[in-house]
Chain A
């Protein structure tokens, strides 16, 4: 058992555990958001193990930083009351839905061993670094890249318009 595999299992367990803590915590929404941070950082570590260095850095900056800060900000701004699980009339349907999801995932996992090839392509020098991904982003994928800037602009305007108290 090599070091990378041990690290992968550790971070995978951390990600799954904190994701479960996020979903199951009904008392405190801020604690849910903090569990989400732990999931994001653990996933960033898994990305590093997968040699996706630029993606790992962006994961921590965008998800662990910006997005979770936005969540915590909104939760604290709204001063949310304690959440509860669904009332009894909905509980059966929702439990059935959750059970079906779990069943589908278990079935998928039982098909998984040996389904994917073990052989992995040799990685070029600097794979997943900023030069490698950045070159792809600014040459072959420049049009999608530019259209995401339009998306961000419209999201920015949309968020301001929605959250504004009243429009003139």
Chain B
């Protein structure tokens, strides 16, 4: 094993953290969705790393499922963004707080 596993899981944790920070501090919905994609990718990396550790390909199957869900999420999410922009002329989350308590 050339690459220590804790380095890979550490990289996964760092990328997940960057994604969480991006989803927290940015106000553009499109960038928030990109941050969510980044978090999903970090999880995929952890799946692949642990799959390598156990010598089993089941983690790869899970990664394929996660990629599918991410693609579906982006399609529906961007559809919502488009209809939101058409109706409210904004993609700023602070302007769309009707359901917020």
Q: Which residue of A lies closest to B53 (CB)?
A: A120
Cβ-closest chain B residue relative to A113: B6
- Give the contact-size bracket for chain A: 35 or more
Tell me which residues across on chain A come within 8 A of B67, comparing CB atoms. 58-59, 62-63
Query: Would you call the interface of chain A mostly helix, strand, loop, or mixed?
Result: helix
The reply to whether B76 and A155 form a contact with Cβ atoms under 8 Å apart is yes
Query: How far is A61 from B41 in the complex, measured between Cα atoms in Å?
Result: 14
A-B contact count (CB 8 A): 236
User: A44's closest neighbor in chain B, by CB?
Assistant: B41
Contacts of A20 in B (CB 8 A): 18
B61 proximity list for chain A (CB < 8 A)? 133, 136-137, 141, 144
Residues of B within 8 Å of A102, CB to CB, are 17, 21
Docked CA distance A136–B81 (Å): 36
Q: Which of chain B's residues 33-51 have a Cβ closer than 8 Å to chain A?
A: 33-35, 37-38, 41, 44-45, 48-49, 51
A contacts, CB < 8 Å to B: 2, 4-5, 8, 12, 15-16, 19-20, 22-23, 26, 29, 32-33, 36, 39-40, 43, 46-47, 49-52, 54-55, 58-59, 62-63, 66-67, 70-71, 74-75, 77-78, 80, 83-87, 90, 94-95, 97-98, 101-102, 104-105, 108-109, 112-124, 127-128, 132-133, 136-137, 141, 144, 148, 151-152, 154-156, 158-163, 165
